[in-house]
């Protein structure tokens, strides 16, 4: 045996011992297997013509063909991991590593010699690491929407073509499990679609998740549904979802419950579409790893929402409708800050006194948390008791002074601003108003048929409560005649970071004149003073009164 034959036999033995397939691709596109190394997914020349690259997964085909053309042009090897169709099962693909080198034949034509080795586990390990790295920002997400955005971007379009996330409203959980219904505004939280897919229609209020999705959530077990392109199961999926899956040419749907503290709080659904091969159990495992990263942000959001709900319930329990008083029409509103995490200490109150008088207060306690709301409740209760016990003849400044001493003796609260006013009726068409302002934005008086004006204290502004002992406080007086309106408000109505408070007060007065000039009713006037939702960075409380003759 010649040395060259011996070397060839050794080389063939070596190739046979390696778990890979060695092949040659002729210039006319025919693939010939030289060594079958046990790789299931083989390159072949499809019957009826065409290219062997038809066996490559549609999502890998474009970029792999670009790499191949580049290798042919530059005469350089190609080394890539791609998904190849499993022989005998056109719906399944497996990751393989293709290494190919171009060999130039006489005449300039190219032949390729290469190998194919199984790379499924390597790809899944690498992909899991990559996806979890993309998910790293999720625990630090500022809110749930940001967490969902990061999650969706991690899987579209690499693992899925569409993502939708549904939340289970905790307060409706019992009804949800029995009916699967959820309103469109509270159920679907994030949708991410690959380009070219039809948009999802808005969900109707009576939207039902299908029984398969409800079962996955109830059992806390991921499910994978695969089906021919655009032909989802006729049962088990909601009609709205089924319509969209048909339009999108979907081939699979993955249902992934997101569990926090033993409770299913969300359902992540993904779909492969446009005729792309369906996901498989390996893809489902990767998706489970990704979406489970959402449990941390969901837990924190739920805790914040629970604290916020508790504080809002406490806060709003003190914000009852103003009492009915002959000769006065009143309206009030409270809007929390446009934030999922903040609750403030704003409040308003009105209490009837003897002789048909009315005590009215609006105030703000520094802070945006449960402590602020709790302190607000105590301070409001104490001021209400002091006002009722003192009666209509006592100076509001004296009442605020008493409140200041009591609060500082019993508590260690943050700074408090407030306006406390006593309204006494002198005639059928006239009310006498005495008020004291403890560092609060000035009330706005809107005389009937005249421009609005602020009620500034001529003696100078009094300090807020709880800043020092024994500070002097003063009263100021004004009149409220038939048709006149007085508006009390908290600083959220006029304070915006980065803007001038004086300019905002002028804008508020101009807006008031505009609304009053249109003849707006008292409730419409108050609602019209609110800034746009996106500018509501602080809580806003407003209470307004209008003098009316008895009818």
Convert the pLDDT of each residue in 124-166 to its tens digit.
Answer: 888 888 877 877 777 666 666 677 777 888 888 888 898 888 8
Cis peptide before 472 (omega within 30 of 0): no
- Cα–Cα separations (whole angstroms), residue 310 to 242, 299, 364: 39, 17, 18
Of 428, 358, 423, 429, residue with least CA distance to 388: 358
Backbone φ and ψ of 372, nearest 5°:
-65, -45
Percent of the chain with pLDDT over 90: 24
What is the band of 107 on the pLDDT scale with cuts at 50, 70, 90? confident
**Cα–Cα dist 195/455, whole Å:** 58
- Burial, 492: exposed, middle or buried (Cβ in 10 Å; 0-12, 13-18, 19+)? buried
In the numeric block, the tokens 């060594």 are attached to 35
**What is residue 426's three-state secondary structure?**
strand
Under 8 Å between Cβ of 380 and 315: no
Q: Provide mean pLDDT across the span 388-398.
A: 91
Report for 24-38, 365-379, 380-394: range of highest mean pLDDT:
380-394
Instruction: Please state, in angstroms and rounded to a whole number, the distance separating the CA atoms of residues 182 and 172.
Output: 8
Query: What is the per-residue pLDDT across 483-533, written as a single tens digit (0 to 9) for each?
Result: 999 999 998 888 877 778 889 899 999 999 999 988 889 999 999 998 876
The first and second tokens of residue 309, run together, are 């709900």
Dump the DSSP string for 451-491. Answer: --EE---TT-PBPPBTSSSS-----EEEEEETT-EEEEE-G
Omega cis (within 30) before 263: no
Residue 420 is predicted with a pLDDT of 96
| Residue among 155, 134, 121 at smallest CA distance from 279 | 155
- Report residue 503 as tokens: 């300019």
From the number of C-beta atoms within 10 Å of its C-beta (0-12, 13-18, 19+), residue 551 rates as exposed
Distance CA 535, CA 519 (A): 26
State if pTM tops 0.85: no
Q: Is 490 left (phi over 0), alpha (psi -120 to 50) or beta?
A: beta
């Amino acid at each position: 045996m010649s040395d060259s034959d011996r070397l060839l036999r050794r080389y063939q033995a070596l190739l046979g011992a390696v778990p890979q397939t060695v092949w040659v691709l002729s210039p006319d596109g025919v693939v010939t297997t030289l060594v079958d190394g046990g790789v299931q997914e083989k390159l072949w020349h499809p019957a009826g013509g065409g290219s062997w690259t038809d066996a490559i997964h549609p999502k890998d085909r474009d970029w792999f063909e670009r790499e191949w053309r580049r290798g042919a042009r530059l005469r350089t090897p190609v080394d890539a991991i791609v998904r190849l169709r499993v022989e005998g099962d056109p719906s399944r693909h497996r990751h393989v590593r293709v290494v190919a080198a171009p060999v130039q034949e006489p005449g300039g034509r190219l032949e390729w010699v290469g190998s194919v080795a199984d790379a499924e586990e390597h790809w899944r390990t690498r992909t899991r690491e990559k996806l979890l790295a993309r998910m790293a920002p999720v625990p630090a997400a500022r809110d749930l929407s940001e967490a969902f955005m990061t999650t969706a971007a991690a899987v579209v379009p690499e693992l899925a073509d569409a993502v939708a996330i549904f939340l289970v409203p905790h307060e409706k959980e019992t009804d949800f499990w029995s009916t699967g219904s959820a309103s469109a505004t509270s159920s679907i939280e994030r949708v991410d679609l690959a380009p070219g897919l039809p948009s999802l229609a808005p969900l109707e209020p009576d939207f039902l998740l299908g029984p398969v999705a409800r079962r996955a959530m109830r059992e806390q077990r991921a499910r994978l549904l695969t089906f021919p392109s655009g032909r989802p199961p006729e049962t088990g999926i909601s009609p709205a979802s089924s319509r969209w899956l048909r339009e999108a040419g979907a081939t699979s749907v993955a249902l992934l419950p997101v569990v926090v503290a033993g409770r299913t709080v969300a359902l992540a659904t993904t779909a492969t579409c446009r005729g792309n091969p369906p996901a498989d159990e390996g893809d489902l495992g990767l998706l489970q790893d990704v979406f489970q990263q959402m449990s941390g942000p969901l837990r924190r959001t739920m805790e914040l929402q629970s604290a916020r709900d508790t504080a809002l319930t406490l806060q709003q329990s003190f914000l009852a409708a103003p009492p009915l008083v002959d000769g006065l029409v009143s309206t009030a509103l409270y809007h929390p800050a446009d934030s999922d995490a903040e609750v403030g200490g704003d409040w308003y109150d009105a209490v009837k006194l003897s002789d048909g008088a009315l005590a009215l207060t609006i105030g703000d306690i520094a802070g945006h948390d449960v402590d602020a709301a709790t302190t607000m409740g105590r301070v409001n209760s104490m001021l209400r008791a002091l006002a009722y016990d003192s009666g209509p003849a006592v100076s509001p400044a004296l009442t605020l002074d008493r409140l200041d001493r009591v609060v500082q003796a019993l508590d260690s609260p943050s700074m408090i601003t407030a306006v406390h006013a006593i309204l006494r009726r002198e005639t059928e068409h006239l009310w006498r108003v005495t008020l004291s302002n403890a560092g609060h934005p000035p009330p706005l008086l809107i005389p009937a048929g005249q421009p609005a004006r602020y009620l500034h204290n001529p003696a100078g502004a009094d300090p807020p409560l709880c800043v020092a002992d024994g500070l002097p406080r003063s009263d100021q007086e004004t009149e409220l005649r038939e048709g006149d309106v007085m508006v009390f408000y908290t600083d959220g109505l006029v304070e915006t970071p980065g803007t001038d408070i004086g300019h905002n007060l002028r804008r508020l007065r101009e807006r008031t004149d505009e609304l009053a000039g249109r003849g707006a009713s008292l409730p419409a006037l108050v609602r019209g003073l609110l800034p746009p939702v996106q500018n509501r960075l602080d809580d806003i409380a407003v209470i307004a009164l209008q003098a009316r003759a008895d009818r």
